[in-house]
Every structure is written in C-alpha cells, then in structure tokens.
Structure 1
Amino acid sequence: MASYLLQSRADNTVKKYQSSFDQFKSYCDINSLVSKPALPISVAMYFTSLLDQGKSDNVVSAAYYGIKWVHNINDLQDPTENSIVKQLLETAKRISSKPVQKKDVVSSEMLQARCLTYQDSVDIIDLRDLSMIMLAYAGFLRMNEVSNLHCNDVQFNSDHLVLKIRQSKTDVYRDGSEIVIAKSCSSACPYSMLQRYMSAAHLSINSDEYLFKPAFRSKHVASLIGKNKKLSYTRAKECIVDKLKSVAPGLKLGSHSLRASGATSVANTGVSDRCLKRHGRWKTDVAKDGYVKDSLEKRLSVTKMLKL
C-alpha cells in the first residue's frame, strides 16, 4: 500500500516533498521538537526561522507542501491547516518573493539563420542540437519532453511528422498525446532536420532507444554513446542555449524559451486559441497566456480600436 500511495504524485514531486520535509525534521531534531505529527507552533517556528534566514518564498512554499504531504499520506492531523501557518506562508510570498524574470523569445528568422549555417553539416552533435531546437520550437515542447523522446515516438508521413509524447507535466495520468508538425522547404524545417540527424546517427524509427543521447568526439568525429541513456535536462538546455547564442546575442534564454517562442510566433498570426492550446497541451487560457508575448502591433490594436 505504501508504494502505491507514493505513486499518487510524480516521482520528482515526491523527491521534492521528501527533501523539504527532511529539512524540517532536521530543524525539529536540533530544537527537540516532534516532526511527525508536528504541532502547528513547530511549523510556525520553522517558517519564522526560514524567513529570518532570508529564504525565498519558494523555499517556504516547498516546506509547506512537503509537511502537508507527509502528514496527509500518513493520515495524521495536518498542521499546515492552522491559520498562523497559512499567514506565515503569505508573509513569505509578500516579503521574500522576487519578480518573475520572463525569458526572451527567439524568432523564426533567427532559427533559419542558425540552421542555414549547418545546411551541409553531417556532424551528429550539431544535427542533434538543431533537431532538439526545431522540435521544441515547432512542437512547443518542454525540455523534459524533448529528452524523453524515443526513436519509435517519431512517425514520418509524406507532408508532416508525428511526435508521440508519452508523458508530460500536464498529463498526470500518462494518457499520452500526439503532436503533428508540418513539413516545409526552409533550412529550418523540423521534419528535414530530424531526418538528417537520424540518418547521420543511424537511428531507426522502430527502435525504442532514446532519440537524443549524449555524444562524444574522437579524432574530430562525433558519435552517440552506445548505452541507451537519454540526454539530461541540464545538458540539453546547455546545448540548445549554446547553439542560439550567435543568432540571439544578449537575449536571456532558458529551458522554456523555445516553447514560449513558438507559441508567441503562432499566437501573433491569429491561429485559434483552441488549436494553440491543443498543440501546446495547455489545459487553461491562464497557462497558455503565460507563454505568449503579444507583439507591439497587437498591443497597439487595443487603443486603435478606440478611434481617438
């Protein structure tokens, strides 16, 4: 039963909750307090300690939900339901939170310029990185969705390719979803770029190997490692940002830059919100709008409609 209860949340979520609770437990042990079941005053004292140390609201929030999760999963009285504890959480959000720094977006022209540089390249690492970039941009993919792709998740049709997303942040019940990406004639075509990469790396669409794996160079020749190991989230982000630096100098780029860039580019062309949300696998308009940066023309259209 315990193992099943742990599966009620994603593995990474469980790790985060457990880590946050372990820190609370250490605080209780040092101060001769009981951590499980914890009294509301113990949690309130812990939050006060975190605020005194100048910890961010993210740390306090993680502690709040970690303590709540441990008590709920053990069927214990939840100390986080106490009004003082909740008020201290709100205090952390008010005095410790930092403004959200949105990452910049890249344009399709920038990506075409980058791909044009490698139009005759057969280097596996370059083709791998460019394939990740173009799939993330055209498919509105998160970095973990890119790194979790397998070769047999790809299907090439005559005028488009289909990507099978086995699991994602918003797909909590692992129903899976499919993304369709049209074939084009430009140097930045995701369809052609992925075909070039898979051909150079000798990857088969019938294989269950990870599509994007770590690579190495030997005597100036690049190859993927033999072990079936996916490219890590951190390394995938590093490779993508490094490839974009030359065409996007000075821009603040992050793990969600390509997802936001693709969504922004499409949203400003007038594609329906329904299709946009389905392609990006967003459940709500609020989630979708967080990724879209309206163009100046669209923002000016509001006051233009006033006809002043």
Structure 2
Amino acid sequence: MSRFLMCSRSDGTTKSYMHSFNRWRKFILQHGHSDIPAQPVHIALYITHLLDNGASYSSVNSAIYSIKWMHEISGHVDPTENSFVKSLQESSKRLTGKPVKRKDPVDSETLQTLCETYKDSTDLLVLRNLTMILIGFAGFLRYDELSSLKCKDVTIESDYLKITIQRSKTDQLREGSEVLISKGFSCACPYSMFLRFLSQAKIDLSSDHFIFKPIFRSSGIAKLIYKNKKLSYTAARQNIVSMLKKVAPHLNIGLHSLRSGGATAAANLGVNERCLQRHGRWKSISSKNIYVKDSIKYRLQVSQKLGL
C-alpha cells in the first residue's frame, strides 16, 4: 500500500517532495521535535528559517507542499492549513517573488537559415542536433518527450512522420498520444532531416534504442554510442542552444524555445485551436497560451477594430 500511495504523484513531483521533506526532517530533528506529525508552529518557524536564509518562493512552496503531502499519505491531520503557515507562504510570495522571464520562441525563418548553413554537412553530430531542433519545433515537444523517443516510437509514412509519445508531463495515466509531422518543402523540413539522420546513423526503427543518443568520435568519424542511453539535458542544451545562437544571437534561447516557437508560429498562422491543443498535448486552451507569443500584427488588430 505504501508503494501505491507514493505513486499518487508523478515521479518527478515525488522526487522533489521527498528532497524537500528530508530537509525539513533534518531541521526539526536537530531541534529535538517530531517531523510527523508536525506542529504548525514548528513549520511556521521552519519557513521563517528558510526566508531568513534567502530561500525563494518556490523553495518555500515545495517545503509546505511536501509536508502537506507526507501528512496526508500518512493519515495525519494536515498542519500546513494553519493560519500562520498560510500567511508566511503569502509573505514569501511578496518578499521573494520575481517576474518570470520566459525563453524567446524561435521562428521558421531562423530554422531555415540554420539548416541552410549546414545543408551540405554529413557530420552525425550536426545532423542529430538539427533533427532534434526541427522535430522539437514541429512537434511542440518538451525536451523530456524528445529525448525519450525510441526508434519503435516513430513510423515513416509517405508524406508525414507519426510519433508516439509514450509518456509526458500532462499524461499522468500513461495513455500515450500521437503527433503527426508533415513533410515540408524547405531545407528545414523535419521529415527530410530525420531521414538524413537515420541514414547517417544507420538506425533501425524496429529497435528499442533511444533515437537521440550521445555521440563519440573514432578516427575523426562521429558515431552514436552503443549503449542504450538517451542524451542528457545538459549536453543537449549545450549543443542545441549554441547552434541556434549562431543564427539568432539576440534571442534568449533555451530548449523550451522549440516548443514555444512551434506553438507561436502555428497560432499566428491561424491554426485551428482544437488541433493546436491536441498537437501540443495541452489539457486546456488556456494552458497553450503560456507558450504562444502573439505577433505584432495580431496584437494591433485589437485597436484596429475599434474604428478610430
């Protein structure tokens, strides 16, 4: 039963909560008191301790929610409902909250310029990075979804790619979902780039290996490692961001710029919202709006319609 109770949250959330709760446990045990069940006044003092040491609003939130969760699955009364705890949580938001600076979305023109730069390249490292960029952009993929793709998850049709997302952040029931990526007509066509990468890497789509694996060089030739290991976030960020910065040095770019860029481009071109929501695997239309940056043309339409 304990194992099932721990699965009430996603793996990432559980890991984060356990880390925060262990920090609370270490603190309160050093002061000779109980971590479970905890006294509300002790939690309030712990939050005060975090704020005194410069903790962020996110850290305070994580501490409170981890304590709340552990008490709930242990069958104890939730001590975080105390008014002191709630007031301190609000205080942390006001005192330490900072405006979110989201990454800039990349656009189709930037990707076409990038692919034109490397149009004659046969280097496997370059082809892998370009393929990840184009698939991530066209499929609105989060990095975890992109890096977790296995060979058997991709089906090549005559004019499109069918990608099966086995698990994602919004798919807690592990039902899976499909993303269709159409064959394009420019040098930045994700369909053509994917085929180039498959050919150069000699990948068998029937295998259970990850598609985007780390690369090593032997006698000057780049090859995918033999071990079935997906590319790490750090390595991907270093490779992909540095490549994009060559053609867009003025943008604040991250790996999320691909998902945001694809969604922004599609929205500004008037793609049906229902299809947009399904393609991006968002639970609601409002969730999609976080990723879309409206163009000046669309924003000006508001005042243009006023008839002034």
What TM-score range do you get, normalising by the shorter chain? over 0.9
Following the alignment from structure 2 to structure 1, what is the Cα–Cα distance between the partners of residues 271 and 169?
24
Indicate the residue corresponding to 1:44 in structure 2: 44
Whether 2:199 is the aligned partner of 1:199: answer: yes
Following the alignment from structure 1 to structure 2, what is the Cα–Cα distance between the partners of residues 143 and 70?
30
Following the alignment from structure 1 to structure 2, what is the Cα–Cα distance between the partners of residues 238 and 163?
25
Indicate the residue corresponding to 2:59 in structure 1: 59
TM (norm. structure 2) is 0.98
- 3-state secondary structure, aligned to 1:217: strand
Following the alignment from structure 1 to structure 2, what is the Cα–Cα distance between the partners of residues 121 and 132?
16
Indicate the residue corresponding to 1:304 in structure 2: 304
- 3-state secondary structure, aligned to 1:80: helix
Following the alignment from structure 2 to structure 1, what is the Cα–Cα distance between the partners of residues 207 and 152?
6
Task: Write the mapping of 1:219-298 to structure 2, written as runs, cut at 5 A.
Answer: 219-298=219-298
- Contact kept, 8 Å, 1:143 with 1:237, in 2: the verdict is no
Q: Which amino acid aligns with 1:134?
A: L
Deviations 1:160-214 (A, max 9, x none): 1110000000001100000001001211110111111111111111111001001
Following the alignment from structure 2 to structure 1, what is the Cα–Cα distance between the partners of residues 165 and 145?
7
- 3-state secondary structure, aligned to 1:66: helix
- 3-state secondary structure, aligned to 1:223: strand
- Contact kept, 8 Å, 1:44 with 1:84, in 2: the verdict is yes
Whether 2:130 is the aligned partner of 1:126: answer: no
- 3-state secondary structure, aligned to 2:169: coil
Following the alignment from structure 2 to structure 1, what is the Cα–Cα distance between the partners of residues 109 and 282?
26
Q: Which amino acid aligns with 1:247?
A: V
Following the alignment from structure 2 to structure 1, what is the Cα–Cα distance between the partners of residues 209 and 285?
35
Following the alignment from structure 1 to structure 2, what is the Cα–Cα distance between the partners of residues 195 and 87?
56
Deviations 1:52-108 (A, max 9, x none): 112110000010111111111111111112122112111111111110001112111
Following the alignment from structure 1 to structure 2, what is the Cα–Cα distance between the partners of residues 252 and 24?
36
Indicate the residue corresponding to 1:22 in structure 2: 22
Indicate the residue corresponding to 2:172 in structure 1: 172
Deviations 1:111-151 (A, max 9, x none): 01111122222211111111100011000000000100000
Following the alignment from structure 2 to structure 1, what is the Cα–Cα distance between the partners of residues 81 and 203?
53
- Contact kept, 8 Å, 1:259 with 1:291, in 2: the verdict is yes
- Unaligned runs of at least 5 residues, structure 1: none
Question: Shift of the alpha carbon at 1:285?
Answer: 2.1
- Contact kept, 8 Å, 1:37 with 1:76, in 2: the verdict is yes
Indicate the residue corresponding to 1:159 in structure 2: 159
Question: Shift of the alpha carbon at 1:14?
Answer: 1.0
Q: Which amino acid aligns with 1:43?
A: I
Following the alignment from structure 1 to structure 2, what is the Cα–Cα distance between the partners of residues 248 and 217?
28
Following the alignment from structure 1 to structure 2, what is the Cα–Cα distance between the partners of residues 112 and 57?
40
Following the alignment from structure 1 to structure 2, what is the Cα–Cα distance between the partners of residues 186 and 268?
19
Following the alignment from structure 2 to structure 1, what is the Cα–Cα distance between the partners of residues 32 and 7?
32
- Contact kept, 8 Å, 1:151 with 1:210, in 2: the verdict is yes
Indicate the residue corresponding to 1:6 in structure 2: 6
Question: Shift of the alpha carbon at 1:286?
Answer: 2.1
After the TM superposition, which parts of structure 1 deviate over 6 Å for at least 4 consecutive aligned residues? none
Following the alignment from structure 2 to structure 1, what is the Cα–Cα distance between the partners of residues 160 and 293?
27
- 3-state secondary structure, aligned to 1:213: coil
Question: Shift of the alpha carbon at 1:295?
Answer: 0.4
Following the alignment from structure 2 to structure 1, what is the Cα–Cα distance between the partners of residues 204 and 118?
23
- 3-state secondary structure, aligned to 1:141: coil
Q: Which amino acid aligns with 2:199?
A: S
Question: Shift of the alpha carbon at 1:29?
Answer: 1.7
- Contact kept, 8 Å, 1:166 with 1:176, in 2: the verdict is yes
